Structure 1
Amino acid sequence: MLSYVVAVSRNNVIGKNNSLAWRLPDDVKFFREKTLSETKTMIMGRKTFESLPKVLPGRKHIVYTRDKNYKIDDPNVEIIHTIDEILPYAKSDQEYFVIGGGEIFKMLFPYTQRMYLTEIHENFEGDTFFPDYDKSQWKVTEKKEGTIDEKNIYPHTYLTLERV
Structure 2
Amino acid sequence: MPRRFSFPCLESRRKAAPTVFFLQRCFPSEFALGFNLILHKIKMSSKKPIYMIAACSENRAIGKEGGGLPWSISEDTAYWTEKVTGGIIIEGRRCFEELGGPFPNTDTIVLSRNPDFSLDNAYTAVSMESAIELAQNLGGEGPIWICGGPAVYQAGMPLAEKLYLTQVYDEVEGVAFFPDWRADFAVELDRRDSSDENYSYSFLVLTRGN
TM-score, scaled relative to structure 1: 0.87
Aligned partner of 2:73 in structure 1 is 24
3-state SS of paired residue (1:133): coil
Cα distance change of structure 1 residues 41 and 139 upon mapping to structure 2, 3 Å threshold: same
Question: Higher RCO, 1 or 2 (CA under 8 Å, sep at least 6)?
Answer: 1
Shift of 1:163: 1.4
Q: Is this contact kept in 2: 1:121–1:154, CA < 8 A?
A: yes
Query: 8 Å contact 1:90–1:112 — kept in the other structure?
Result: no
Deviations 1:128-153 (A, max 9, x none): 1001134474210100012324xxx2
Q: In structure 1, how many angstroms separate the alpha carbons of the residues matched to 2:114 and 2:203?
A: 35
| One of 96, 105, 109 as aligned partner of 2:153 | 105
The CA distance in 2 between the partners of 1:26 and 1:118, in whole Å, is 10
**Residue 108 of structure 1: CA displacement?**
1.5
Alignment of 1:147-162 (within 5 A): 147-149=195-197, 153-162=198-207
Bigger radius of gyration: 2
Which structure shows the higher helix fraction?
2
1:83-94 aligned within 5 A: 83-88=128-133
Q: Is the 8 A contact 2:60 2:177 kept in 1?
A: yes
Equivalence for 1:82: 127
Gaps of 5+ in 1: none
Change (3 A) 1:2 1:12: same
**Partner of 1:48 in structure 2?**
95
Would the aligned equivalents of 2:88 and 2:106 in 1 still touch at CA under 8 Å? yes
Q: What is the match of residue 4 of structure 1?
A: 52
> Any idea what the Cα deviations from partners look like across 1:27-77, whole Å, max 9, x if unmatched?
00000000112xx10110111111113321111101110122222112xx1
Which residue matches 2:120?
73
Match for residue 58 of structure 1 among 105, 125, 129: 105
- Partner residue of 1:129? 177
Could you say which residue in structure 1 is the equivalent of 2:35?
A: none
- Greater CA deviation, 90-99 or 16-25? 90-99
Runs of 4+ residues over 2 Å off in structure 1: 86-95, 133-138
Identity of aligned residues (%): 25
Give the conservation status (yes or no) of the 8 Å contact 1:118–1:159.
Answer: yes
Aligned-residue CA RMSD in angstroms? 2.0
